[in-house]
Amino acid sequence: MLFAFALVGETHAQNFRSYQTTTEQISYNTRTITDGRTIVEVVVSTVVVNLTPNPVAGESTVSTDTKTQTLFLTSAAAADLQAAIAAAGSGDSVISQTVDSEIEDSDKIKDTSGNNLTSISYVEIVNGVPTFTPVTGGIAETNNVVTTERLDFTTIVKQVKALVSQD
């Protein structure tokens, strides 16, 4: 009976609290693409950080999930999206949720065949010379996991104190 209790106590002791933070950012970049049209490149970046300290093993694990979504929208759709995000308020995932609910297929830039553009080349003037820069749309996700261990050391403090007696 004691063995079963010790086993249950040991497995329960390995469940550690995890802390999570979510950060979202959105950027709007007006681009003139190679066919002369002006579009808005919208980039939504979501970073989720999970921290799990393990005091028993003296280590902490940090997992960082990064998701970047790039959309090519019409100017009117980008303005509507900006207004919808401002009206939505604040929260951990308010930007990505608003993008998912507001953006329709008709808001995206189409090629000559009527398909959504998945990549563009836009024109930049660098030192008076036109430069064509390619950008690929869609969703990119990465996950980084870092485990750090606490350094073990022994500290010995020797402090001599005088004996004080009240008798």
Q: Which amino acid is at 7?
A: L
Identify whether the C-beta of residue 97 lies closer than 8 Å to the C-beta of residue 89: no
For residue 45, the number of C-alpha atoms closer than 13 Å in the C-beta half-sphere is 9
Report the distance separating Cα 10 and Cα 2, nearest Å: 12
Residue 109 CA to residue 103 CA, distance in Å, equals 12
- Residue pLDDT tens, the chain, 167 long: 444 444 444 544 567 788 899 999 999 999 988 888 899 999 999 999 998 888 777 788 889 999 999 999 999 999 999 999 999 888 778 899 999 999 998 899 998 888 988 898 888 888 888 888 899 988 899 998 888 776 666 667 777 777 777 76
Give pTM, 2 decimals: 0.72
> Residue 97: CB partners within 8 Å, gap ≥ 6?
88, 91
